[in-house]
Amino acid sequence: MDNKKITSVDYEEEKNQSQSKKQQDENTKKKSNAQKMIPGLIVVIVSLLIILTCVLIAYYQVYNSGKQNANVLEGVYTSSYYSMVDNVNNLSVDVAKYSTLTTKQAKLNTLQDMMLDCNYILAGLSVLPIDEVNASSATKFFNQVNGLCEAYSNTLYKGENLTQEEELVFDKISLVLGKIKENLNKQNAGMYDAGFNFVDASVFDDTGMNELSAGLGDLSSENIDYPAMIFDGPFSTALETTEVKGLSENEVSKDKAYDYLKNTVYKNREDVKISFDKETNGDIATYDFNVEVDNKQFFAQVSKRDGLLITISGYAETGNPIMKNEQAMELSKTFANNIGFESMDSVWLEIHDNVAYINLAPVINGVIMYPDLVKVKVDLTAQEVIGFEAVNYALNHVERSPEFVVDTDSAEKLLGFDYNVLKISKAVIRLDSGKEVATYEFMVERIDGTYFYYIDANTNQIVKTMKLVSVEGVQKLI
Amino acid sequence: MKKLLIAMLVMVSCFFGIAGSVGAIQGIKQEPAKTTIARIESVDSATADIKEVQTRLKKWGYYTGNVDGINGPLTISAVKKFQKRYGLTQDGIVGPLTAAKMGISVSSGSSSSSYSNNDRYLLAKVIYAEARGESYTGQVAIGAVVLNRVEDSRFPNTIAGVIYQPWAFTAVNDGQINLEPNETAYQAADDALNGWDPTYGSIYYYNPETATSKWIWSTTYVTQIGKHIFAV
């Protein structure tokens, strides 16, 4: 019984001891685990600190570089703005000066100054972040003033006089400049307040207007009565309406346009699939078709008036050219003649990779009619026409009877020295003003390259000079 | 301690590894497009291609000797005559000014491309950035709009001026203009530069699904090609 008791007590003690030991072990284990975790924690904390430091450095660098970029941009905007303002003032003064001048030379000098002013203003306007509508009206105005001054300079240079009506345009220009200056002054006043920043002010709001545009005031034609300016140059108001002279009033149906494409343009292609796409209502109204030939996609436009092919647009895969240039030219001429463009001859060839762009012009009685230029794109690998363009033909083609009064010897005297005439052709060309002129085209080789001189066959004056840009694959053909 | 350092290195590298890959994904670099742009006219100034100089001078009557590539007295004398004719310093040396007058570039290794090739490149870039998902005709149309703007008095008068006019093209604002154009974009640029204009003189285009400017709706519709409406 005692033994039993002893045993029971011993057992309890042993149990307690065992539990205590277990507890101790657990504590030791926990302690050991905690001790083991310390280096890990140190790793995590130190790594996080390193990462945080790096992120902060990177952020600072990005922020700093962004700030630097913004400062540089601010400098560009500020410089452009003040340069523009200065030149608007200069132009305003020059216009005022012009009206007081009486001699041709003084007027010529002032017109030259005004052209320079306009160019600086235009450079500034093209950089400033003004919304599109306001910028476009002001840009047009200064482009036109520039063109007008050039045209007037040319007139005075030729020894001719400007009419009273022509001179009066400057009064209208002066009024508009006054309005623009008024808006600029308002903007200037606002800018003297501390904190104005072009970069911040260039962000557009929901209305599409930004603070800068608003500050400059409304420069659009709705607010300023910009005058119509008609002169002998590219930006003349007279050129804003396009007249389609090459097409008759005879309008064809969509079905007829489809038949023309199917049975004339793609006459020999039985696999052609043509589907009507839509109508386009530009200066030349067209029926537009999607065309599929030999798994290649094309887009074709046929004019509503006269039902003439205006455009084929197609892409050539890169490949090795198989067709020779001469064959491509023959193909282009045959193609054009077969679809209704007669008496065409190739006048220009340009090759890019395996694509040939061939310019064709009608040659009537030995005179090249450049205003009626047609362009054909030939895939030299597939050996087929993949593009066609006849907008110029549609706009300009008329029957012409050009006169050639001056002889070529007199014309050649204008070419100066050190040249070798490669070819003389008779040609009708279209000037920037839209006027057509009968000319002698002198293809001339000079020390630094090939030039084309177009000499008016009636006034014996050089009306256009072109230099052949040295690009591989460009050839003048006739 | 060594293990500690290694562990720290691994963690930091992992972080920057991930950050780096995110950066790489954000700035996907396009493979440069295969292009055939310019014939670059440059001649090494050291050699100055005496034969070329002699050929040119002989052609124009300044040089009477043989085209042998030797810069002898006859050649120097001919160069001097040429320089006199063109008001240049008569030193008999084909320096940059004399060479330029002869039509020989002496940019000594650096390349120069013609103006039209810059135009082609810029046009291809804007076409690729603005319309790479469009049909081929849709891409030509974007190029045509840029060129129509150059001809229009309301816009800057150069291709670069039009493309980089502030806020004019989304692709310039968001940086997509800096992607390298592909072969299709180059061909579309060639078409546009050669006169193809399926938009018939349009100077605006917009995607009706995403256009935010109210003003754009006041323009006159000309046509729609793909997702873009073209207008004047």
**Residue A392 maps to a domain:** yes
Which of A36, A45, A47, A141 would you mutate first to test chain B, the one with the most B CBs within 10 A?
A47
- A413: pLDDT strictly greater than 60: yes
A132/B157 touch (CB, cutoff 8 Å), yes or no? no
**Residue A349 maps to a domain:** yes
A144/B153 touch (CB, cutoff 8 Å), yes or no? yes
Spatial CB neighbours of B136, under 8 Å, sequence gap ≥ 6: A297, A299, A313, A314, A315, B184, B187, B188
**CA distances (Å), A327 to each of A163, A318, A361, in order?**
55, 19, 18
Mean per-residue pLDDT, A177-187: 87
B113 interfaces chain A, CB cutoff of 8 Å: no
Mean pLDDT of chain A: 88
Specify whether B56 is located in the same domain as B154: no
Specify whether A218 is located in the same domain as A78: yes
Domain boundary among A240, A272, A289: A240
Domain boundary among A334, A362, A396: A396
B165/A126 touch (CB, cutoff 8 Å), yes or no? yes
- Phi/psi for A18 (5° steps) reads -60, -40
Q: Specify the pLDDT at position A475.
A: 61
A94 interfaces chain B, CB cutoff of 8 Å: no
Specify whether B158 is located in the same domain as B189: yes
Domain boundary among B60, B77, B102: B102
Specify whether B81 is located in the same domain as B163: no
**pLDDT by residue (tens digit) across A379-388?**
999 999 999 9
Residues 164-203 of A with CB under 8 A from B: 202
**Residue B110 maps to a domain:** no
Specify whether A197 is located in the same domain as A77: yes
**Residue B205 maps to a domain:** yes
Q: Specify the pLDDT at position B108.
A: 31
Q: Do the Cβ atoms of A313 and B196 come closer than 8 Å?
A: yes
Mean per-residue pLDDT, A458-472: 82
Q: Do the Cβ atoms of A91 and A177 come closer than 8 Å?
A: yes
Specify whether B206 is located in the same domain as B119: yes
Which segments of A353-417 are extended strands (E)? 355-364, 367-369, 374-379, 384-389
CATH of the domain at B71: 1.10.101.10
Between strands A355-364 and A436-446, the pairing is unpaired
A471/B116 touch (CB, cutoff 8 Å), yes or no? yes
More confident: A62 or B163: B163
A122/B213 touch (CB, cutoff 8 Å), yes or no? no
In angstroms, rounded to a whole number, what is the distance separating the alpha carbons of residues A396 and A433? Answer: 14
Closest CA–CA distance from residue A389 to any residue of chain B (Å) = 6
Residue type at position B213: S
A140/B153 touch (CB, cutoff 8 Å), yes or no? yes
A311/B222 touch (CB, cutoff 8 Å), yes or no? no
Q: Specify the pLDDT at position B116.
A: 61
- Angle (nearest 5°) at CA A207 between A204 and A210: 30
Query: Could you give the 3-state DSSP secondary structure of residue A429?
Result: strand
Closest CA–CA distance from residue B133 to any residue of chain A (Å) = 15
**Residue B28 maps to a domain:** no
In angstroms, rounded to a whole number, what is the distance separating the alpha carbons of residues A183 and A202? Answer: 17
- Using a CB-CB cut-off of 8 Å, the residues of chain A touching B200 are 280, 282-284, 286, 391
**Residue B171 maps to a domain:** yes
- Using a CB-CB cut-off of 8 Å, the residues of chain A touching B198 are 280, 299, 301, 311, 313
Closest partner CB to A51 (pick from B12, B102, B200): B12
- Phi/psi for A276 (5° steps) reads -70, 135
ipTM for the predicted complex comes to 0.76
**Residue B16 maps to a domain:** no
Q: Specify the pLDDT at position B94.
A: 78
Closest partner CB to B102 (pick from A143, A301, A448): A448
A129 interfaces chain B, CB cutoff of 8 Å: yes
In angstroms, rounded to a whole number, what is the distance separating the alpha carbons of residues A321 and A383? Answer: 9
- Phi/psi for B114 (5° steps) reads -75, 160
**Residue A376 maps to a domain:** yes
- Using a CB-CB cut-off of 8 Å, the residues of chain A touching B153 are 139-140, 143-144, 147, 235
Specify whether B130 is located in the same domain as B182: yes
Q: Copy the structure tokens of residue A240.
A: 């804003």
A389/B187 touch (CB, cutoff 8 Å), yes or no? no
- A174: pLDDT strictly greater than 70: yes
B217 interfaces chain A, CB cutoff of 8 Å: no
Domains held by chain B: number? 2
- Using a CB-CB cut-off of 8 Å, the residues of chain B touching A448 are 100-103
DSSP string of B130-191, one letter each residue: HHTTS-HHHHHHHHHHHHHHHHSTTS-SSHHHHHTSTTS-HHHHTTGGGSPP-HHHHHHHHH
* A and B: number of Cβ contacts within 8 A: 164
Q: Do the Cβ atoms of A361 and A369 come closer than 8 Å?
A: yes
A280 interfaces chain B, CB cutoff of 8 Å: yes
Specify whether B91 is located in the same domain as B121: no
CATH of the domain at A464: 3.10.450.40
**Residue A15 maps to a domain:** no
Mean per-residue pLDDT, A243-263: 95
B116 interfaces chain A, CB cutoff of 8 Å: yes
Closest CA–CA distance from residue A17 to any residue of chain B (Å) = 39
Specify whether B128 is located in the same domain as B227: yes
Question: Taking chain B, what is the end-to-end CA distance rounded to the nearest angstrom?
Answer: 73
Q: Specify the pLDDT at position A453.
A: 94
Domain boundary among A240, A272, A301: A240
| Helices of type H across chain B | 2-26, 50-59, 73-85, 96-102, 115-131, 136-151, 159-163, 170-173, 183-193
A157 interfaces chain B, CB cutoff of 8 Å: no
In angstroms, rounded to a whole number, what is the distance separating the alpha carbons of residues B11 and A169? Answer: 75
Q: Specify the pLDDT at position B4.
A: 56
Mean per-residue pLDDT, A401-423: 93
Q: Do the Cβ atoms of A88 and A145 come closer than 8 Å?
A: no
Residue type at position B90: Q
Specify whether B66 is located in the same domain as B162: no
Which of A447, A448, A470 would you mutate first to test chain B, the one with the most B CBs within 10 A?
A447
A299/B136 touch (CB, cutoff 8 Å), yes or no? yes
Specify whether A453 is located in the same domain as A344: no
- Using a CB-CB cut-off of 8 Å, the residues of chain A touching B157 are 122, 143
- A470: pLDDT strictly greater than 60: no
Per-residue pLDDT of chain B (232 residues), as tens digits, is 566 566 666 665 655 555 444 433 333 333 333 222 222 222 222 334 677 788 778 877 888 888 877 778 888 888 888 888 877 778 887 776 677 677 664 433 222 233 467 889 999 999 999 999 999 999 999 999 999 999 899 999 889 999 998 888 989 988 999 999 999 999 999 999 989 999 989 999 999 888 777 778 888 899 999 999 999 9
Dmax (CA) for chain A in angstroms is 153
Specify whether B56 is located in the same domain as B137: no
A235/B153 touch (CB, cutoff 8 Å), yes or no? yes
Closest CA–CA distance from residue B131 to any residue of chain A (Å) = 15
**Residue A418 maps to a domain:** yes
Question: Taking chain A, what is the end-to-end CA distance rounded to the nearest angstrom?
Answer: 137
- B127 half-sphere exposure, CB direction, 13 A CA radius: 33
Q: Specify the pLDDT at position A136.
A: 85
**CA distances (Å), A360 to each of A353, A375, A376, A471, B121, in order?**
20, 6, 8, 20, 26
- Only one residue has tokens 């800018």, namely A191
Specify whether B162 is located in the same domain as B198: yes
Mean per-residue pLDDT, A421-428: 95
Note down the domain range covering A286: 254-396
B60/A418 touch (CB, cutoff 8 Å), yes or no? yes
Specify whether A235 is located in the same domain as A118: yes
**Residue A375 maps to a domain:** yes
In angstroms, rounded to a whole number, what is the distance separating the alpha carbons of residues A203 and A129? Answer: 9
Specify whether A418 is located in the same domain as A388: no
Specify whether A214 is located in the same domain as A99: yes
Closest partner CB to B215 (pick from A39, A133, A448): A133
Cβ atoms < 10 Å from Cβ of A161: 10
B86 interfaces chain A, CB cutoff of 8 Å: no
Q: Specify the pLDDT at position A474.
A: 58
Q: Do the Cβ atoms of A402 and A369 come closer than 8 Å?
A: no
**Residue B63 maps to a domain:** yes
Closest CA–CA distance from residue A47 to any residue of chain B (Å) = 6
Q: Specify the pLDDT at position A38.
A: 84
Spatial CB neighbours of B112, under 8 Å, sequence gap ≥ 6: B40, B41, B42, B105
Specify whether A350 is located in the same domain as A440: no
Specify whether B93 is located in the same domain as B155: no
Specify whether B77 is located in the same domain as B169: no
**Residue B78 maps to a domain:** yes
Domains held by chain A: number? 3
Residues 342-371 of A with CB under 8 A from B: 350, 352-353, 355, 357
Closest partner CB to B196 (pick from A316, A387, A471): A387
Tell me which residue of A361, A378, A357 sits closest to A369, measured CA to CA.
Answer: A361
B165 interfaces chain A, CB cutoff of 8 Å: yes
A132/B167 touch (CB, cutoff 8 Å), yes or no? yes
In angstroms, rounded to a whole number, what is the distance separating the alpha carbons of residues A392 and A341? Answer: 12
Note down the domain range covering B76: 50-102
**Residue B199 maps to a domain:** yes
Closest CA–CA distance from residue B171 to any residue of chain A (Å) = 16
- A215: pLDDT strictly greater than 90: no
- Using a CB-CB cut-off of 8 Å, the residues of chain B touching A318 are 34, 183
- A15: pLDDT strictly greater than 80: no
- Using a CB-CB cut-off of 8 Å, the residues of chain B touching A387 are 191, 196
Q: Specify the pLDDT at position A134.
A: 74
Specify whether A463 is located in the same domain as A338: no
Closest CA–CA distance from residue B75 to any residue of chain A (Å) = 16
B195/A375 touch (CB, cutoff 8 Å), yes or no? yes
**Residue A157 maps to a domain:** yes
Specify whether A258 is located in the same domain as A378: yes
Spatial CB neighbours of A78, under 8 Å, sequence gap ≥ 6: A198
In angstroms, rounded to a whole number, what is the distance separating the alpha carbons of residues A300 and A270? Answer: 17
In angstroms, rounded to a whole number, what is the distance separating the alpha carbons of residues A185 and B169? Answer: 30
In angstroms, rounded to a whole number, what is the distance separating the alpha carbons of residues A127 and B164? Answer: 8
In angstroms, rounded to a whole number, what is the distance separating the alpha carbons of residues B129 and B93? Answer: 48
A314 interfaces chain B, CB cutoff of 8 Å: yes
**Residue A61 maps to a domain:** no
